[in-house]
């Protein structure tokens, strides 16, 4: 792997290696052990959209590893005033060791990768969010001690995180069932690609069918940046897809409830479930740090 634009840039073996290294780095951090493997290395973080977890976890990851992360908001760059993506990628490659990009269009992150001579990491595009899924797989493995054979139920909008979850589950041998309203299905090409890879992927419109006997219940925000104009319609369409106690009761007794955050209690998840005993959402958020450290070492060392 040179770039991480999609989960499919990783093989099964590479995912397991990244998770093993992330677990090791997590343990070392707990014991206060520091490593400066990225000393004198700087990365650039081109962000077109706001972020809490992704931005902070990448910045802290670089700082923990002895390196430096520059936050580059496109509003403050010449990119925001018409400089091309290609020229930006070529120039930044002369200063930096890696680019992390959060962009509206997946084509932008692909174009960055095409013109950069350094690794490019997709930190959320309209198509995928592979960094989130690496942290999620680490979290699932911590709670379940395995990945293969588990049933993962995605409830809600079949969005960019869902697309990466479909590919991630397929690569590690988990079954995934997506329950979403009509018109909110995950990317068709990704579903087809996952099935060709041997993935057990089902798309249904029945949340109870997906939740039944699930080991993992997963949801994400219903109103993402750019969806604000459709807020009322989306809330109406997605209302039957809330993760709540009723849905949790259909899943395995030891189900874990996941959310990549930010959460909206009372919309995609009820407050009692979000803050209840099955919820692992803050472990997920923490694991962004450990998984991304592992990823940065992989692409930079």
Looking at the annotation, which residues are catalytic?
Answer: 102, 129, 132, 220, 260, 288
**Judged by CB under 6 A, which stretch of 49-57, 238-246, 248-256, 292-300 contacts ligand CP?**
49-57
Q: Report whether 93 belongs to an annotated binding site.
A: no
Q: Report whether 265 belongs to an annotated binding site.
A: no
Is 141 a binding residue for ligand CP by CB under 6 A? The answer is: no
Q: Report whether 227 belongs to an annotated binding site.
A: no
Question: Total residues contacting ligand CP (rule CB under 6 A)?
Answer: 8
> Site for ligand CP (CB under 6 A): which residue of 3, 53, 141, 234?
53
Joined together, the tokens standing for residue 113 give 């990768």
Burial code of 224-256, b = ≥16 C-beta within 10 A, e = fewer? beeeeeeeeebeebbeebbbbeebbebbbeebb
Q: Report whether 181 belongs to an annotated binding site.
A: no
Sign of CA dihedral 282, 285, 291, 297: negative
Q: Report whether 74 belongs to an annotated binding site.
A: no
> Site for ligand CP (CB under 6 A): which residue of 99, 260, 295, 296?
260
Could you tell me if 296 and 62 are in contact, meaning their C-beta atoms sit under 8 angstroms apart?
yes
User: Up-side HSE of residue 191: CA atoms within 13 Å toward CB?
Assistant: 14
**Judged by CB under 6 A, which stretch of 8-16, 51-59, 89-97, 269-277 contacts ligand CP?**
51-59
Q: Report whether 55 belongs to an annotated binding site.
A: no
Joined together, the tokens standing for residue 126 give 């309209």
Is 287 a binding residue for ligand CP by CB under 6 A? The answer is: no
- Which residue's entry shows tokens 């940065």? 296
**Judged by CB under 6 A, which stretch of 1-9, 30-38, 50-58, 110-118 contacts ligand CP?**
50-58
Sign of CA dihedral 6, 283, 159, 247: positive
Residue 132 C-beta: closest distance to ligand CP, Å: 5
> Site for ligand CP (CB under 6 A): which residue of 51, 73, 224, 244?
51
- Which residue's entry shows tokens 């997946």? 106
Q: How far is it, in rounded angstroms, from Cα 293 to Cα 296?
A: 5
Q: How far is it, in rounded angstroms, from Cα 154 to Cα 144?
A: 17
> Site for ligand CP (CB under 6 A): which residue of 11, 52, 105, 117?
52
Is 7 a binding residue for ligand CP by CB under 6 A? The answer is: no
Q: Please choose, from the candidates 159, 44, 191, 181, the residue with its C-alpha nearest in 3D space to the C-alpha of residue 112.
A: 44
Q: How far is it, in rounded angstroms, from Cα 61 to Cα 68?
A: 9
Q: What string marks each residue from 87 to 126 as x (binds ligand CP by CB under 6 A) or -?
A: -------------------------------------x--
Q: How far is it, in rounded angstroms, from Cα 235 to Cα 256?
A: 24
Residue 164 C-beta: closest distance to ligand CP, Å: 11
Joined together, the tokens standing for residue 82 give 């018409």
Residue 123 C-beta: closest distance to ligand CP, Å: 7
For ligand CP, the binding residues in 206-245 under the rule CB under 6 A are: none
Is 61 a binding residue for ligand CP by CB under 6 A? The answer is: no
Question: What number of other Cβ atoms are within 10 A of residue 131's Cβ?
Answer: 24
What residues are designated binding site for carbamoyl phosphate?
Answer: 51-54, 78, 102, 129-132, 260-261, 288
**Contact positions vs ligand CP (CB under 6 A):** 51-54, 124, 132, 260-261
What residues are designated binding site for L-ornithine?
Answer: 160, 220, 224-225
């Amino acid at each position: 792997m040179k770039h991480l634009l999609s989960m499919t840039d990783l093989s099964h073996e590479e995912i397991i290696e990244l998770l093993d290294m992330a677990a090791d780095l997590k343990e070392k951090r707990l014991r206060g052990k520091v490593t400066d493997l990225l000393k004198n290395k700087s990365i650039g973080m081109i962000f077109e959209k706001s972020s809490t977890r992704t931005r902070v976890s990448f910045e802290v990851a670089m700082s923990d590893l002895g390196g430096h992360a520059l936050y580059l908001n496109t509003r403050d760059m010449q990119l925001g005033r018409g400089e091309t993506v290609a020229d930006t990628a070529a120039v930044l490659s002369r200063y930096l060791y890696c680019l992390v990009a959060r962009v509206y269009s997946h084509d932008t992150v692909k174009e960055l990768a095409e013109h950069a001579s350094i690794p490019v990491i997709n930190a959320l595009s309209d198509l995928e969010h592979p960094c989130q899924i690496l942290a999620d797989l680490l979290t699932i493995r911590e709670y379940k001690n395995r990945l293969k054979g588990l049933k993962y139920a995605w409830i809600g909008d079949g969005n960019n995180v869902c697309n990466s979850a479909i590919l991630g589950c397929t690569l590690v041998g988990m079954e995934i069932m997506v329950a979403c309203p009509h018109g909110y299905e995950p990317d068709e090409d990704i579903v087809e690609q996952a099935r060709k890879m041997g993935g057990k992927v089902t798309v249904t419109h029945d949340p109870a069918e997906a939740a039944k006997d699930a080991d993992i219940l997963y949801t994400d925000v219903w109103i993402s940046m750019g969806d604000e104009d459709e807020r009322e319609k989306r809330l109406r369409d997605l209302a039957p897809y809330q993760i709540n106690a009723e849905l949790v009761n259909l899943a395995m007794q030891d189900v874990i409830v996941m959310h990549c955050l930010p959460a909206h209690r009372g919309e995609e998840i009820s407050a009692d479930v979000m803050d209840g005993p099955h919820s692992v959402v803050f472990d997920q958020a923490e694991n962004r740090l450990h998984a991304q450290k592992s990823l940065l070492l992989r692409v930079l060392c």
